[in-house]
Amino acid sequence: MSYEKDIKHISGKKKGNILMFALSTCMWCKKTKKLLDQLGVDYNYVDVDLLPDKEKTEAEEEIIRWNPSVSFPTIVINDEECIIGFRPEEIKGKIGK
């Protein structure tokens, strides 16, 4: 996956392998990042809209595996489950405290 070089890492408490696909201009993505920061968890994210075309296509193909509608944010946890959208209670329940 060539977009991996564009993934940004935020350090915190390890609660599994968390990867968020986001858009730089998405209000819900920003709220989700802020919530993850407040929870103090370790996570990675990539702003799909800022990727070059080839990498963007690859990221979208990965998102489709989890979220066929390709909506944002899409959070993949441990490459096993997914949270779609800004869902604070679900996020707290799965990766929070």
Residue with tokens 């996956």: 1
Asked if the structure places residue 95 within a domain, the reply is no
Q: What is the pLDDT of residues 52-63, one digit of tens each?
A: 999 999 999 999
What pLDDT does 2 receive?
87
CA distance 38 to 20: 16
What pLDDT does 38 receive?
95
Q: What is the pLDDT of residues 45-96, one digit of tens each?
A: 999 999 999 999 999 999 999 999 999 999 999 999 999 999 999 999 998 6
pTM of the model: 0.94
CA distance 75 to 1: 17
The set of long-range contacts for 4-9, using a CB threshold of 8 Å and a minimum separation of 24, is 6/46, 6/47, 6/50, 6/51, 6/55, 7/44, 7/45, 7/46, 8/44, 8/45, 8/46, 9/42, 9/43, 9/44
Asked if the structure places residue 22 within a domain, the reply is yes
Q: Write out the residue range of the structural domain in which residue 53 sits.
A: 2-87
Write the CATH number for 62: 3.40.30.10
Q: What is the pLDDT of residues 15-47, one digit of tens each?
A: 999 999 999 999 999 999 999 999 999 999 999
Asked if the structure places residue 31 within a domain, the reply is yes
